[in-house]
Amino acid sequence: MKLNFWDLALDSFMAHCGAEKGLATASLLAAQQDLSRLRGWAEKQEIPGPGAINDTHLRKFLSECARELATSSRARLMSTIRSFFKFLVAEGMAPGDPTTTIAIPKKGRKLPVILSVDQVVRLIEGVQGGKPRELRDRAILEILYGCGCRVSELCGIDVMDLDLNDEMLLVRGKGNKQRLVPVGQPAAEAVNNYINAGRALLLKDKLHSALFLNNRGGRLSRVSVWNLLKAAGREAQLPPELSPHTLRHSYATHLLEGGADLRIVQELLGHADISTTEIYTHIDRSWLTEAWLEAHPRAR
């Protein structure tokens, strides 16, 4: 029986990924699909086995894949192939690694969805009423947009974290890093109304430090925040992809459009690296043109 080098190489690599690297089932299936694609192409080119593939072969293969695959899929494909050949070289099943001169395609950074100021107002103003849940939901929307909180940060807010006199909020971010963010007057008013007329009724004679409570008097969950936001979004006829992070993105974008310094926005968002904040400078640059036309002496 003729030895099939592809079968031997692929079986050995997949066993390595499953047993030693402990990859999840979905990751194993993805790797298998990627390498099956490479094998199918190589066999059409009459390349006898993986050890006979060189960098020229790989460049041609990837070039053909580029017509069918998105950048993220090509990046995963190349990452799989790189791991495959690194394993083969280590096991003595290939004379060299043909991937060393080939770069992995960079994934394009996906721009976040943002709302216009009018859409934000419509969303927040759409939550009316004096019932405890209505007061709570209005306060939540005001804080999400007014303070740029992540949903996990919002759920983690305690009553003592909020200083309504100085209109400041202590936010606990990733890695338990703390930051102080200003609370605007509309948000402060909404939270004050909730505390005075809604929170005690949700608390139901219990003791709890959380600011935002569920119907049982416990800390509100992230899923609950998602659900109330989705309901408010439908009422305001906003895009279905609306999420708590949409309000955070909108907060950052509107600050920059209003003239806030990028470093200040970085601090307010709690970003460790300013490159994370810089994505907001690429969303809508029309306001820069307008500012230039108004201010520069040689603009017209």
Give the active site residue among 60, 131, 245, 263: 245
- Which of 65, 37, 24 shows the shortest CA–CA distance to 6? 37
Give the active site residue among 59, 60, 174, 285: 174
Q: Exposed, middle or buried: residue 134 (CB in 10 Å: 0-12, 13-18, 19+)?
A: middle
Give the active site residue among 39, 57, 208, 271: 271
Give the active site residue among 76, 248, 249, 254: 248
Distance of alpha carbon 223 from alpha carbon 218, whole angstroms: 14
Q: Is 248 a catalytic residue?
A: yes
Distance of alpha carbon 58 from alpha carbon 72, whole angstroms: 18
Q: Is 271 a catalytic residue?
A: yes
Distance of alpha carbon 7 from alpha carbon 49, whole angstroms: 9
Contact 227, 212 (CB under 8 A): no
Q: Is 174 a catalytic residue?
A: yes
DSSP-assigned letter for residue 210: B
Q: Is 150 a catalytic residue?
A: yes
Backbone angles phi, psi at 64, to 5 degrees: -70, -35
Q: Is 249 a catalytic residue?
A: no
Q: Which amino acid is at 202?
A: L
Give the active site residue among 37, 150, 199, 249: 150
Contact 180, 170 (CB under 8 A): yes
Distance of alpha carbon 293 from alpha carbon 299, whole angstroms: 5
Q: Which residues contact 93 (CB under 8 A, 6 or more apart)?
A: 8, 9, 12, 50, 51
Distance of alpha carbon 269 from alpha carbon 254, whole angstroms: 13
Which residue numbers are catalytic?
A: 150, 174, 245, 248, 271, 280
